[in-house]
């Protein structure tokens, strides 16, 4: 698959006959897409905070229980899996830069030439903004993908925190061959 050819600001500078109204519409649509990316960021962070609260509470309880001399070590092992999940959730929540909506007015107030441009330059400014908007969208999408991957790893760590209890259950309970086969079938569905 060939790589997409995207116009740069230099390419745009060389163009004549830019359609200002269409470029404004493209900018509006691009801003909508960036809003979607920023909304996704918020949703992912909300999920991370919810999971983080649960993981911290459960892991503290498991660590406390595992300190009892008569308790099996499986509680501590489960808490360690949750601790791995906590690390990935914190990593997903860490503050990082994203593409932002709008631009800081300081860019236009640093030089009076931006304030006295003739109207025929507007279409170029909109077109340059469109290029910048595309870059902010791509940057935000990549950040969301990384955030989502970290949350998925944390969720798997939460699932794996159940492993010691499953092993302990099977170790302490003698299952029939049919029950073992049913568990194997279930686990093959879950992990494939």
Summarised one tens digit per residue, pLDDT across range 30-56 is 889 999 999 999 999 999 999 999 999
156: left (phi over 0), alpha (psi -120 to 50) or beta: alpha
Please give the distance of CA 89 from its chain centroid, rounded to a whole number: 10
Within a domain: 4: no
With bands split at pLDDT 50, 70 and 90, how would you rate the model's confidence at 152?
very high
Closest CA to 31 of 143, 146, 129, 145: 129
Summary mean pLDDT of the chain: 82
Within a domain: 31: yes
Number of structural domains in the chain: 1
* Maximum average pLDDT range among 66-70, 160-164, 180-184: 160-164
By percentage, how much of the chain surpasses pLDDT 90?
28
Within a domain: 128: yes
Lowest mean pLDDT, pick from 145-149, 152-156, 171-175: 171-175
d(CA 169, CA 74): 11
Q: What is the pTM of this model?
A: 0.73
List all residues 6 or more positions away from 176 whose beta carbon is below 8 Å from its beta carbon: none
By percentage, how much of the chain surpasses pLDDT 70?
80
d(CA 165, CA 171): 10
Residues 60-111 have pLDDT tens digits of 888 888 888 877 777 888 899 999 999 999 999 887 777 777 776 776 677 7
Q: At what angle do helices 74-93 and 20-66 cross, to 10 degrees?
A: 160
Query: Which pLDDT does position 155 carry in this prediction?
Result: 93
Domain range for residue 59? 19-161
Within a domain: 191: no
Closest CA to 151 of 15, 26, 41, 69: 41
pLDDT of 1 > 60? The answer is: no
Residues 5-25 have pLDDT tens digits of 888 888 888 888 888 888 888
Please give the distance of CA 187 from its chain centroid, rounded to a whole number: 28
Of 188 and 134, the structure prediction assigns the larger pLDDT to: 134
């Amino acid at each position: 698959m060939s790589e997409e050819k995207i116009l740069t600001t230099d390419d745009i500078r060389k163009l004549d006959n830019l359609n200002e109204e269409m470029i404004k519409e493209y900018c509006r649509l691009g801003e909508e897409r960036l809003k979607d990316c920023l909304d996704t960021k918020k949703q992912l962070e909300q999920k991370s905070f919810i999971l983080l609260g649960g993981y911290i509470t459960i892991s503290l309880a498991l660590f406390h229980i595992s300190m009892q001399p008569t308790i099996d070590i499986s509680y501590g092992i489960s808490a360690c899996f949750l601790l791995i999940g906590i690390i990935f959730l914190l990593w997903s929540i860490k503050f990082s830069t994203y593409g932002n909506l709008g631009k800081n007015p300081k860019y236009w107030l640093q030089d009076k030439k931006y304030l006295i441009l003739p109207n025929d330059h507007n279409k170029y400014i909109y077109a340059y903004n469109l290029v910048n908007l595309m870059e902010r969208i791509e940057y935000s999408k990549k950040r969301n993908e990384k955030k989502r991957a970290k949350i998925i790893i944390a969720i798997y760590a939460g699932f794996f925190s159940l492993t010691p209890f499953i092993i302990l259950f099977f170790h302490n309970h003698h299952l029939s061959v049919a029950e073992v086969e049913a568990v194997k079938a279930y686990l093959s569905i879950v992990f494939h």
